[in-house]
Amino acid sequence: MYKLTFNEDLCLACGTQDCLVRCQHMDIDQKTARIEMEKIINGEDSFVLHDCATCYACEEYCPHGNHPFYLIVQRQDELGMPPLPEPLIKRGIQTGIPFRGEPEIDEIKGTALNMCVFSNLMDRVQGRLFEGLPIISHDSRKMFHYFCQLMYLHYGKTSVINERLDKIIQTLAAHKAKEIIHFHDECYGTYTSYAPAFGIEVPFKSIHLFEYLYNRLLELKNEIKPLNYKVAYQRPCSSRLSPPMHQYVAKIFDLIGVENVKREYVDENAMCCGGTILGQKKEGSRQYCAEVQKKNIDDMKNAGAEICVFNCPACITTLGKPVQKEGIWPLFMSDLCRLAIGEKIG
Amino acid sequence: MESIYQALVEIVGEDYASNRHEELFTYSKDLGTSPPQWPEYVAAPKTVEEVQKIVYLANKEKVAIVPLGGGLTLAGLALPLKGGIIIDMKRLDKIIEVNEAARYMVVEAGASHGKVTAYLHKHHPTLMHSEPGAPAAATIGGNMAIHGQGDLAHPYGFNTDMINGLEVILPTGEIARFGSCAVGSGWYTMHPLPDLGLFLGWNGSTGIITKISFRLYPYKKIRDNDAFTVSDENLVPEILHELTHLGLTEDLIATSSEIPPVMNRLHHISIMIAGDYEEEMEFKRHMIFDLTLGKYIRSGVGGIGGIAAERLRPQISKSADWKKGGGFEYVGSIVPVAAYPECYRRGSEISARHDIPYTVLGRVIGCCHAMMFSWSYAFNRADAETVRHAREALHETDVMVMELNGTIWKPAVFGQKLMMDRMDQTTLQLMKKVKDLLDPNGIMNPGNWEVQ
């Protein structure tokens, strides 16, 4: 079975314990953080395993790229301490089961766009930005054959990911695309961070959607008309698995002439959408989720945001309606970019 | 025969009467497993007077008449088992009155639930009625004739519990009114006049409902569908009991289905809440999820499946897509809420025997006074073998309902017979006397609730 690459010595010798000290959801000092990480490394119970909001941020905070979040989830799995109640775990695991036929494998030369389990969002990848780009997983009946599985990090289930991921990779690879752009950065994180961390081979090159959009916008630069909106970006948890790609948010905003509003909950201090916290077993999770969302949306409002831009379909499902109620327009990044080149969005 | 057709043309006009094969074909089927039953004529009247004339004609010619609403019961209840005239009521769809202050509405029986909902949204946005899970084309009259329930079943009961008045054409053609409208006092109450109770649940075999007054209820601005999920079916009754004790929800539905896999062997309780203010909604969520259901969450046996999702009506019809061919039919029953676990277990066993993915749903009626529990069976319309399996599964389910001491809701003829076989003889004979008295020529939807 696949084994997580985690350097225990490096972790224990860490001078900052940023992974836990900087956690937005637990108040942990450096001394406690070291003790708790040692317990986790040794496979012992720790309050961190129970209280983790599964926001992925510690993956980014770790100064050594040492995968503390993957370790936490692996320990939750091994010790039988899932953060969610059993029925939600069962529901989640069953979500990823394909049930309507086999995928149709078309050979693709060059670059393709992978929609994963978001085939129903094909409207979000229309227009000149995506012209001529072959799509993988465009049929919602078959989309679970392409499900990257990383969602199970929220379920304390690395075992499910490790059991299924290889087959998903084989299905994607069967299309023979040299490069695959991933609509959701959860997929990008799967193939560029999680898989290497667990020694799972990925035979294709992955491209982040924002990198693709930025480069495509450069090609269409003459057609860009500055939008002059004030925009907040809802950074999703999976973006923590690919911090270098986060720079493209600012680059795209500069290119299309929108103001990236100054917020407290931004970049490394970004606030989780709350979707994963809502159902957690820990007492008060629902109320805590509501508090997190309120703080986040208040922050957007106070910063004067007119638009909230999303990458993650789960984030927009969770926060789209609440931000709209506050007069902020929820938009996918792809749609914002389309507006900049004068296209209408549905 | 030509003379009956000509008489129908004279009553409703040439465009709204037919004896042509291709049009009768449409009326010979419903969407379920019932074999085709051909009418000889179809007429679509526009007025109560036209309906009345057709009833007089049918009595004169001793020909059967079957009133048809949306044609969506699936159980063959509006198929002409003994031929005759189908009276398609859908043109009789006027909205006659909405009384905002007394919260009721009077419509012609062919008005669809979709039309009523749209009308209220547009003209009376603070009011709603109890709309069933059926497609929007289901008619108010048809739904009442089968004792339907809707999305206000938890607080207010069956849709027929919400009736304020009825106008009915008797099988012999006279028009009768029931409730305060019978004494010319408006349409605001069914009580306290002597109870006649002759037309609801009879599937149109004792008369044709032409006008209905029904209660309206406050329509709150914010309407959410929250969800709670458990694996153990035995927890469902106690959770529903606790939620109905709390009394803050508008609709409570528990579902489980084999497909999609996300629903398999899990029980999703849809908890509909409504409010005019965010504070009101948050208070309700706090009471429901933190205080009432919190113990299930903390112990890990139940989880919040979603908050503030868009409200969708129960979509049992989606189960029709699980097999090629798009067919489905269900048995509905009224059972105690405590029967949910056994209904689920035994129903899924029946499904497995017939190689049909199981789909079950239970909607709370009243304050946990009962539940409408349904078992849905999908089939391929183009594959007679799958239709046979579905039909057998439906019949086995009818028998199971009886074994569980349930009551089959809107039973097909097979289920009607099962219930009449068990029925108290005095009641059965009273039904026969009522039917014979009202319908001396035996022309009204014959074959339904027919006491031998």
Per-residue pLDDT of B149-196, as tens digits, reads: 999 999 999 999 999 999 999 999 999 999 999 999 899 999 999 988
Tokens representing A132 are: 């001529």
Q: Of A86, A95, A99, which has the smallest distance from its Cβ to B231's Cβ? A: A86
Q: CA angle, A294 as apex, A292 and A295 as ends, to 5°?
A: 65
| Domain C-terminal end among B218, B238, B256 | B218
| Greatest extent of chain A over all pairs of C-alpha atoms, in Å | 58
Element (DSSP H or E) covering residue B104: strand B104-108
DSSP code string of A169-213: HHHHHHT--SEEEESSHHHHHIIIIIHHHTT----SEEEEHHHHH
Question: B307 in helix, strand or coil?
Answer: strand
Does B305 touch chain A if contact means CB atoms closer than 8 Å? yes
Q: pTM, whole model, 2 decimals?
A: 0.94
Mean pLDDT of B255-280: 95
Q: What is the pLDDT of residue A86?
A: 98
Element (DSSP H or E) covering residue B330: strand B326-335
- B242 Rama sector, left if φ>0, alpha if ψ -120 to 50, beta otherwise: alpha
Mean pLDDT of B273-281: 96
The reply to whether B205 and B339 lie within a common domain is no
Does B298 touch chain A if contact means CB atoms closer than 8 Å? yes
> Does the beta-carbon distance from B266 to A85 stay under 8 Å?
no
Is residue A222 classed exposed, middle or buried when 0-12, 13-18 and 19+ CB atoms within 10 A define those classes?
exposed
Contacts B286 to A, Cβ<8 Å: 287
Could you read off the pLDDT tens digit of each residue along chain A, which spans 346 residues? 799 999 999 999 999 999 999 999 999 999 999 999 999 999 999 999 999 999 999 999 999 999 999 999 999 999 999 999 999 999 999 999 998 889 999 999 999 999 999 999 999 999 999 999 999 999 999 999 999 999 999 999 999 999 999 999 999 999 999 999 999 999 999 999 999 999 999 999 999 999 999 999 999 999 999 999 999 999 999 999 999 999 999 999 999 999 999 999 999 999 999 999 999 999 999 999 999 999 999 999 999 999 999 999 999 999 999 999 999 999 999 999 999 999 999 8
Contacts B298 to A, Cβ<8 Å: 281, 283
Does A63 touch chain B if contact means CB atoms closer than 8 Å? no
Q: What is the pLDDT of residue B324?
A: 80
Quickly state the pLDDT bin for B20 (edges 50, 70, 90): very high
Structural domain boundaries of chain A? 8-78, 111-209, 213-340
The reply to whether B156 and B203 lie within a common domain is yes
Quickly state the pLDDT bin for B251 (edges 50, 70, 90): very high
Dihedral (Cα; B75, B76, B78, B79), 10-degree rounding = 180
- B101 to chain A, closest Cα gap in Å: 31
Q: What is the pLDDT of residue B145?
A: 95
Quickly state the pLDDT bin for B315 (edges 50, 70, 90): low
In this structure, which amino acid lies at residue B106? V
The reply to whether B375 and B288 lie within a common domain is yes
> Does the beta-carbon distance from A88 to B286 stay under 8 Å?
no
Residue B387 forms part of a structural domain: yes
Least confident of B133-137, B371-375, B425-429: B133-137
Query: Least CA distance to A284: which residue of chain B?
Result: B290
Q: What is the pLDDT of residue B314?
A: 58
Does B308 touch chain A if contact means CB atoms closer than 8 Å? yes
More confident residue, B133 or B252: B252
Tell the residue number behind the tokens 């799995």, with chain if given. Answer: A77
For residue B260, say if its preceding peptide bond is cis, omega within 30 degrees of 0: yes
Contacts B289 to A, Cβ<8 Å: 286
| Domain C-terminal end among B155, B188, B218 | B218
pLDDT at B313 over 70: no
Q: B378 phi and psi, to 5 degrees?
A: -90, 150
The reply to whether B30 and B42 lie within a common domain is yes
Interface test with B, best of A50, A51, A88, A160 (most B CBs within 10 A): A88
Query: Least CA distance to B224: which residue of chain A?
Result: A321
Contacts A142 to B, Cβ<8 Å: none
Residue B437 forms part of a structural domain: no
Distance CA A287, CA B297 (A): 13
Q: What is the pLDDT of residue B310?
A: 78
- The interface pTM score, or ipTM, of the predicted complex is 0.93
The reply to whether B33 and B115 lie within a common domain is no
Interface test with A, best of B223, B224, B226, B229 (most A CBs within 10 A): B229
- B332 to chain A, closest Cα gap in Å: 26
Q: What is the interface size between A and B, counted as CB pairs within 8 Å?
A: 64
Interface test with B, best of A91, A97, A141, A289 (most B CBs within 10 A): A91
Contacts A91 to B, Cβ<8 Å: 229, 262, 266, 303, 305
Residue B428 forms part of a structural domain: no
Pairing verdict, β A230-234 and A205-208: unpaired
Tell the residue number behind the tokens 């009243």, with chain if given. Answer: B366
| CA distances from residue A38 to A10, A30, A74, A116, A153 in whole angstroms, order as listed | 11, 12, 15, 36, 21
Query: Least CA distance to A141: which residue of chain B?
Result: B260
Contacts A85 to B, Cβ<8 Å: 296-297, 300-303
Does A85 touch chain B if contact means CB atoms closer than 8 Å? yes
Q: Residue A88 CB: number of other CB atoms within 10 A?
A: 27
Does A273 touch chain B if contact means CB atoms closer than 8 Å? no
Distance CA B272, CA A338 (A): 37
Contacts of B352 (CB under 8 A, 6+ apart): B358
> Does the beta-carbon distance from B301 to A279 stay under 8 Å?
no
> Does the beta-carbon distance from B303 to A88 stay under 8 Å?
yes
Write out the residue range of the structural domain in which residue B45 sits.
2-90
pLDDT at B322 over 80: no
Contacts A273 to B, Cβ<8 Å: none
Q: Residue A221 CB: number of other CB atoms within 10 A?
A: 10
In B159-293, where does DSSP find H-type helix?
235-246, 278-285
Tokens representing B151 are: 């999305």
Quickly state the pLDDT bin for B308 (edges 50, 70, 90): confident
The reply to whether B107 and B84 lie within a common domain is no
Q: What is the pLDDT of residue B318?
A: 76
> What is the count of structural domains for chain B?
3
Residue B420 forms part of a structural domain: no
pLDDT tens figures, B43-63: 999 999 999 999 999 999 999
Mean pLDDT of B388-412: 97
Q: What is the pLDDT of residue B317?
A: 74
pLDDT tens figures, B332-382: 999 999 999 999 999 999 999 999 999 999 999 999 999 999 999 999 989
Which class does domain A213-340 fall in?
Answer: alpha beta
Residue B266 forms part of a structural domain: yes
Distance CA B176, CA B165 (A): 11
Instruction: Name beta bridge partners: B19.
Output: none
Residue B354 forms part of a structural domain: yes
Q: What is the pLDDT of residue B1?
A: 62
In this structure, which amino acid lies at residue A89? I
CATH code (residue B283): 3.40.462.10
CATH code linked to domain A111-209:
3.40.50
Tokens representing B265 are: 């062997």
| CA distances from residue B79 to A35, B30, B76, B326, B412 in whole angstroms, order as listed | 75, 7, 5, 20, 11
Interface test with B, best of A140, A154, A286, A325 (most B CBs within 10 A): A286
Residue B286 forms part of a structural domain: yes
Tokens representing A130 are: 């995506």
> Does the beta-carbon distance from A91 to B296 stay under 8 Å?
no
The reply to whether B152 and B266 lie within a common domain is no
Output A114-117 pairs: Cβ under 8 A, ≥24 positions apart.
A114/A146, A114/A172, A114/A180, A114/A181, A114/A182, A114/A183, A114/A187, A115/A143, A115/A146, A115/A183, A116/A143, A116/A146, A116/A147, A116/A148, A116/A182, A116/A183, A116/A184, A116/A186, A116/A187, A117/A143, A117/A144, A117/A146, A117/A147
Query: Least CA distance to A81: which residue of chain B?
Result: B300
Please tell me what DSSP assigns to residue B444: B
> Does the beta-carbon distance from B261 to A279 stay under 8 Å?
no
Mean pLDDT of chain B: 95
> Does the beta-carbon distance from A286 to B308 stay under 8 Å?
no
Distance CA B392, CA A285 (A): 47
Query: Least CA distance to B288: which residue of chain A?
Result: A286
Q: Which of A34, A37, A41 is nearest to A15 (CA)?
A: A34
The reply to whether B18 and B127 lie within a common domain is no
Tokens representing A33 are: 């953080």
> Does the beta-carbon distance from A87 to B265 stay under 8 Å?
no
Interface test with A, best of B262, B291, B301 (most A CBs within 10 A): B262
